[in-house]
Structure 1
Amino acid sequence: MTLILLNALEKKVQGELLFRAAHLKAGAGERVGIIGRNGSGKSTLAKIIAGEDTAYTGNLVVQGDLQYVPQIAISDNSLSGGQVEIAALRTAIAKNPAILVLDEPTANLDEGHQNWLCKCLLKYHGLLLVISHDRNLLTQIASCIWEIKDKCCSEFRGSYENYVVKSEKNYQQQTNLYRYQIKKQKEIAAAVQRKKQKAASVRKGKKMGRFERKDTKNLRETTAARMEKNAHKMLKQSQRANNVEKPQAQFEVKVLMASLPAFKGKTVVDADRMMLTHNKEKLLEQTSFKVKPGEKIALTGPNGSGKSTLLNAIFNHEKNIFVSKDAKIGIFKQNLITLPLQENIADFVRRKTVLDIQFVRRFMGALGLPEKYWDKKIGSLSGGELCKLQLVIVLTSEKNFLLLDEPTNFLDVVALHALEEFLMRYPGTLIFVSHDKSFCSHIATRTLSIYKHHLVDFAKEEVDPVPKTDLPLLRLEYDRALLDPKVNISQLRTMSQKIKSLEKN
């Protein structure tokens, strides 16, 4: 039974189209994952479906009672974001509505509550619509994908994993078509040029004598004009046929050219029987651990267990925490934005970064700060955009030891991929807090988890920061398979799973 139907629905903001949905429908038992870049209109679509935004054109039919949990805005300082989120989710799920709409439900949840939410949503039998950048959540629950891209909301019938495989194959196919189109354009341009040169030669009658040129002037002019007309016609036909747009390439980092200060010793951080408290509450007791140069450590644990407090303790060199004198620490926290609001973005970035400026501009674009922001004042950015700029500055500076507290919370899937690409090739030392399981598995060479006031090290032996595997060869084979029409989605999925398994290990 269809519970939601959208026909020719358009949403405009200040007269400009935000997105259109030609025809979308969803029924009981379906679990729809809604994806798209930040600012594409996902939350607006949810508000329209929930009846909170009526400023649109077209038709919308919603049948059945609906519960909507928007992105949580924290206003009560006595509660964490996770606590507020959990309370709202429990209330909505307990009502067992016909339609449940959730906007970024895992953004503030720790791993335990993420698992709880997944189980609840898999047991839910109504129509579920979930806006999320959480790839793990989408992989587990989504039976259908709605994507807002290029101002159009389209549907993919199938799992998120199949959507990813299909998208990658479509990207490779479009890339090949675009390259073929460019090749043909060059061939036709060369042919047109030859025709024009031939016409010019005919018009001049270079190989004719003086009397022959005089007698054939009108004929030569007519022939040359016909040749030029044919050349012009060929060029126009070519331009009309050029309808393949250049696909937007994912941000990639082959080599990160960064000359960071080197560590002379074998230890970046050495904590010896340290105690950690916050507002007189004990978080860690008698804790010892070491961090070696080049390690990339995921710091995990329940909400409120002390992850952010531990990062602050390392940054401030608190009691019983030794930090190498060679360490130049860069710290990122969403609630710690220290940017000169009156300065021009371009000037500020050039002044702070030690990387190639063109690379930094591409990186900013992938994170959601494209070229149009380059000449703006920092103070004109939104809160989320300020976070992204702060992150860019921390990452591309001369810092050789990074402390990142939830750097993924405000990033869409494209930006997440860009951040992963950067950090996987970052040559320094890294400790980061994130509830994104996929992100942690791609980046971390070691995991430390806070559990019952103790720091648990799951790696009992040294981890090679750059493990040697067959991963590069398997990725190459996967890229080739994407271009092979004989390879089916099932085979591609198997190869993709092998790649993910190697990335985790």
Structure 2
Amino acid sequence: MSLINVTNLTFAYEGSYDNIFENVSFQIDTDWKLGFTGRNGRGKTTFLRLLLGEFEYSGKIAASVDFEYFPYRVKDKDINTIDVINDINYDYEYWELLRELSLLKVSEDVLYRPFGTLSNGEQTKVLLATLFLKENSFLLIDEPTNHLDRQARRLVSEYLKSKRGFILVSHDRAFLDNCIDHVLSINKTNIEIQKGNFSDWRENKERQDRFELAENEKLRKDIKRLSESARRTSDWSDAVEKTKNGTRNGGLRPDKGYIGHKAAKMMKRSKSLENRQEAAIEEKSKLLKNIESAESLKISQLNYHKSLLAELEDVSIFYGEKKVCEGVAFSIGQGERIALQGRNGSGKSSLIKLLCGEDIAYTGTFRKGSQLKISYVSQDTSHLQGSLTEYAREHEIDESLFKAILRKLDFARVQFEKDISSYSGGQKKKVLIARSLCERAHLHVWDEPLNFIDVLSRMQIEELILEHSPTLLFVEHDSEFCDNIATKIVEL
């Protein structure tokens, strides 16, 4: 066991006018299974890159271990998988590699196939196995669940549960709960560490938020009461002071000494109330700084003139000679929320492309309602660039509404001035979702919409769907999200 000490860490990207970290300090035990959470754009991946020494920063990071980052960048995907592994780590025993692959249910034959021919899930598992062959290293695992199907997520989660000595960035609640024992959270104003899994952290966070909101309300009432009391006392003091220059009934001169003493006493009381008010305001200013805003979202979907929007009967899809799925049959009815599930490569994205009007080779019967308007969110965000204003204009959506939705999804106003290409992966995905929520459509089709998106935003999107019940066809591997919102599951 050893410690990683972070002291007074401050960092901003070159040319940026806002710090990502400012004077943060904490300790990490290298034996921990540490989950890393925080809203998109808060600096999770940046912190991992700071540990790797990729950027200059002020403050200090002290560690007696080496750091290894996942996912590895594979430069040549045409070489055999075993050669990819050897390029990353040549110092291991072959039987150790087979042991790790066996735990991840990966067969030995993949080692002698070109790496690029492996599925996304197989590539992820191979690289994770390679990562855990590294001895005396603290492992930095950045979002391994993206593009993994549900079965693969469960398998990788069990694998990580048997390991220790890592930081895991993931936004999948069930995945985190199963395999971590501490949580490192980047909050609005600080970084903190708690023992337990993600649900433990979330429960503690909600408890702390409720306490701070109650304290805030109590202090707000105290400040109002003290302010009114101080004003009354000050008014009384002024009124008494004025009687020093008047006369009493019967023409007698007032006792100025007595009146002055009384006015001074009232003024002192007013000053005391004022001081108490200032102390209460100062105490109040310490509250609510880390409460995350998660305002409710809205979606205004068009009503279609028929109850049935689309229907597939015995549909098979082909890419050249290769059949990617066959015998698919389901319908999309008004108000249904359909989860399209299956292993990676089972044809989910191909069916979505067919539904959205792309030229896909298929057999069987496919019927889609006339003039059906579809809003589509793709997996891919690599094409995003330019300003938000240009993006809104290009897609003919209301810019004010578009930006208002992004604000609710935790975008700071400063982000509106930046090029979309500089956004984090989660922020780019939010751009696609915000655009889709602005579009007037009969059907929303979302292909892995939650990749890279933080947990609180996932919960916001869940609440939106449950409240407004849009007609939705989606592919998503976050089991909790699917279980909470799907009204129908189509298994490929």
The two structures have a TM-score, normalised by structure 1, of 0.76
Deviation at 1:35, TM superposition (A): 1.4
Instruction: Choose the corresponding residue for 1:251, options 286, 294, 310.
Output: 294
Map 1:433-444 → 2, pairs under 5 A:
433-444=475-486
Q: Which residue of 1 aligns with 2:309?
A: 268
2:219 partner SS = helix
1:87 counterpart residue number: 126
SS at match of 1:62: coil
In structure 2, stretches of 5+ residues that fail to align are 79-115
Question: Aligned equivalents of 2:334 and 2:346: distance in 1?
Answer: 26
Question: Could you tell me which of 137, 148, 153 is aligned with 1:109?
Answer: 148
Aligned to 2:275: 236
The residue type equivalent to 2:21 in the other structure is L
- Cα distance in structure 2, aligned partners of 1:193 and 1:346: 53
Aligned to 2:70: 69
- Residue in 1 that maps onto 2:378: 333
Residues 134 and 424 (structure 1 numbering): CA distance in 2 closer, same or farther, change over 3 Å? same
Which aligned pairs between 1:381-420 and structure 2 lie closer than 5 A?
Answer: 382=423, 384=425, 385-420=427-462
- Structure 1 residues 166 and 290, CA, compared in 2 at 3 Å: closer, same or farther? same
The Cα shift of 1:188 comes to 0.9
Residue range with higher mean Cα deviation, 148-157 or 429-438: 148-157
Residue 176 of structure 1 deviates from its aligned partner by 0.9
* Residues 1:181 and 2:181 are matched in the alignment: no
Is residue 30–residue 138 contact of structure 2 (8 Å, CA) maintained in 1? no
Does residue 202 of the first structure (1) align with residue 203 of the second (2)?
no
| Paired position in structure 2 for 1:322 | 367
- Deviations along 1:374-433, whole A, 9 cap, x unmatched? 5x3765863643432231021133223100111111211222222222222233200111
Deviations 1:424-479 (A, max 9, x none): 223320011112112212221121122xxxxxxxxxxxxxxxxxxxxxxxxxxxxx
Q: Which residue of 1 aligns with 2:97?
A: none
Among 454, 463, 468, the alignment partner of 1:426 is: 468
- Give unpaired runs (5+ residues) of structure 1: 451-505
Deviation of the 1:314 alpha carbon:
0.4
1:72–1:84 CA contact under 8 A, matched in 2: no
Higher mean alpha-carbon deviation, 51-60 vs 404-413, is at 51-60
Partner of residue 288, structure 1: 329
Kept in 2: contact 1:349–1:393 (CA 8 A):
no
Q: Is the 8 A contact 2:241 2:259 kept in 1?
A: yes
Question: Counterpart of 1:45 in structure 2: which amino acid?
Answer: F
Task: Give the alignment of 1:93-172 within 5 angstroms.
Answer: 93-95=132-134, 98-124=137-163, 126-172=164-210
Instruction: Compute the displacement of 1:220 (Å).
Output: 4.9
Q: Which residue number in structure 2 is paired with residue 4 of structure 1?
A: 3
Contact persistence 1:133–1:413 (CA under 8 A): yes
Q: Report the CA distance shift for 1:383/1:222 in structure 2 as closer, same or farther (over 3 A).
A: same
Shifted more, 337-346 versus 171-180: the winner is 337-346
Are the counterparts in 1 of residues 244 and 259 from structure 2 also a CA contact under 8 Å?
Answer: no
Q: C-alpha separation between the residues in 1 aligned to 2:153 and 2:205?
A: 26
Identical-pair percentage: 22
* Structure 1 Cα separation of the partners of residues 10 and 334 of structure 2: 51
Q: Check whether the contact 1:328–1:399 (CA below 8 A) recurs between aligned residues.
A: yes
Q: 1:302 aligns with which of 337, 340, 343?
A: 343
* Structure 2: distance between partners of 1:335 and 1:424: 26
1:25 aligned partner, one-letter code: I
The alpha-carbon distance between structure 1 residues 161 and 377, as it changes in their structure 2 partners (threshold 3 A), is: closer
TM-score, normalization: structure 2?
0.77
8 A Cα contact 1:99 1:127, kept in partner: yes
Alpha-carbon distance in 2 for matches of 1:100, 1:378:
32
Deviation of 1:110 (Å): 1.7
Determine the structure 2 residue equivalent to 1:55: 57
Change (3 A) 1:66 1:8: closer
Rounded to whole Å, the distance in 2 between the matches of 1:8 and 1:338 is 38
Residue 51 of structure 2 contacts residue 61 of structure 2 at CA under 8 Å; is this kept in 1? no
Which secondary structure does the structure 1 equivalent of 2:308 belong to? coil
Q: Distance in 2 between matches of 1:74 and 1:416?
A: 33
Specify the code of the residue in structure 1 equivalent to 2:28.
K
Distance in 2 of aligned mates of 1:378 and 1:144 = 35
Task: Give 1:270 shift.
Answer: 0.7
SS of corresponding position for 1:344: helix
Equivalent residues, number: 440
Write the letter of the residue equivalent to 2:46.
T
Find the aligned partners of 1:226 and 1:280 in 2 and give their Cα distance: 96
Taking a change above 3 Å as real, the CA distance of residues 379 and 128 of structure 1, as seen in their structure-2 partners, is: closer
Q: Residue 285 of structure 1: CA displacement?
A: 1.9
Q: How far, CA to CA, are the matches of 1:50 and 1:338 in structure 2?
A: 28
> Secondary structure, in 3 states, of the residue corresponding to 1:268?
strand
Change (3 A) 1:72 1:170: farther
Q: Is the Cα contact below 8 Å between 1:31 and 1:144 reproduced in 2?
A: yes
Question: Partners of 2:392 and 2:184 in 1: how far apart?
Answer: 39
What residue in structure 1 maps to residue 82 of structure 2?
Answer: none
Q: 1:153 to 1:251 in 2, by over 3 A?
A: closer
Q: Secondary structure of 1:11's partner? A: strand
| Distance in 1 of aligned mates of 2:262 and 2:60 | 56
**Aligned residue identity for 1:440:** C
Q: Which amino acid aligns with 1:301?
A: G
What are the equivalent positions in structure 2 for 1:368-387 lying under 5 Å apart? 368-373=410-415, 376=417, 382=423, 384=425, 385-387=427-429
Q: How big is the shift at 1:142?
A: 0.8
Task: Give 1:181 shift.
Answer: 1.0
- Which structure's CA Rg is the greater one? 2
CA contact (8 A) 1:72 1:85 kept: no
Q: Which residue of 2 aligns with 1:492?
A: none
Shift of 1:364: 1.9
Q: Aligned to 1:22, which of 18, 22, 25? A: 25
How far off is 1:236 after superposition?
Answer: 2.9
What is the rounded CA distance, in whole Å, between the counterparts of 2:208 and 2:228 in structure 1?
Answer: 30
Quote the residue 2:230 is aligned against: 192
**CA shift digits 1:476-503 (9 cap, x unpaired):** xxxxxxxxxxxxxxxxxxxxxxxxxxxx
